[in-house]
Amino acid sequence: MRKLIPIFAILLLMVGFYGCSRNQAPTADNPFGPSTSHVVINLSAHPSVVQALDNFRNTSSNISVVKAKIYDFQKGPLSNVTIFFYISDVSIPFTSPNSDWSCAYIGSWGNINGDQTKSVNAVTDLSGVASITYTPPPASGMKVVCDTGEVDPDTGEPVYVYYNVDYITVYITATWKGQEWPDGSFGDVSAIVPIKVLR
């Protein structure tokens, strides 16, 4: 029996050591590891709610200024870099009155810098800021069309039904392409901001 006591003591020490090693606090990840970017883009839209164009006339209430500030946690604001702005998506608050119909938004998404384009490049200033303007579509064009699946007996043409929508939400994306990660690979840094367009 006396010979067994040291053996039990050794086993208990080994179990205790193993248990302590399993319960140690995890080591914090390297914030600048291969999967982590040290560059961020802060994207804002002012105002974030605009009025649709009235008869294609452009006023201050129809314009939203979108600003992207790019910041490197190691270097500070990044100046003289190119930011790619584009209208990436649009959502419509519309539910089809008939589940068998196929409906889609057919209106414009608006444009960037007033030149009928959905994308543009802009270069950051000394503060790391690049900006563009967003102009919404005309109210008359904010429509959804539904294909009823029926055919007009007189013309033989498909029957479509049109609906006005009260508002749309447009999403602007700003991307810095060619971001170099600490492991030497390349990727993109992006941010998205929504703008609500009222009819």
User: Which candidate, 42, 39, 127, places its Cα nearest to that of 77?
Assistant: 127
The values of phi and psi at residue 106, to 5°, are -115, 0
**Residue 118 resides in a domain:** yes
**Residue 60 resides in a domain:** yes
Burial group, residue 156, by CB count within 10 angstroms (0-12, 13-18, 19+): exposed
List, in sequence order, every beta strand (DSSP E) within the chain: 39-46, 49-51, 64-72, 76-77, 82-91, 102-105, 111-112, 119-123, 129-135, 143-151, 158-164, 167-180, 186-198
**Residue 127 resides in a domain:** yes
Q: In total, how many domains does the chain have? A: 1
pLDDT given for residue 145 in this prediction: 94
pLDDT given for residue 61 in this prediction: 67
**Residue 98 resides in a domain:** no
* 8 A C-beta contact, residue 77 and residue 127: yes
pLDDT given for residue 141 in this prediction: 84
**Residue 103 resides in a domain:** no
**Residue 25 resides in a domain:** no
Q: What is the mean pLDDT of each run of 10 residues along the chain (199 residues)?
A: 49 44 37 57 94 69 90 87 92 89 90 82 95 91 92 91 93 82 67 94
d(CA 47, CA 57): 18
According to DSSP, the residues that pair with 147 across neighbouring strands are 102, 160
**Structural domain for 77, as ranges:** 34-91+110-136+166-198
pLDDT given for residue 19 in this prediction: 41
pLDDT given for residue 18 in this prediction: 40
CATH of the domain at 74: 2.60.40.10
pLDDT given for residue 157 in this prediction: 92
**Residue 151 resides in a domain:** no
**Residue 64 resides in a domain:** yes
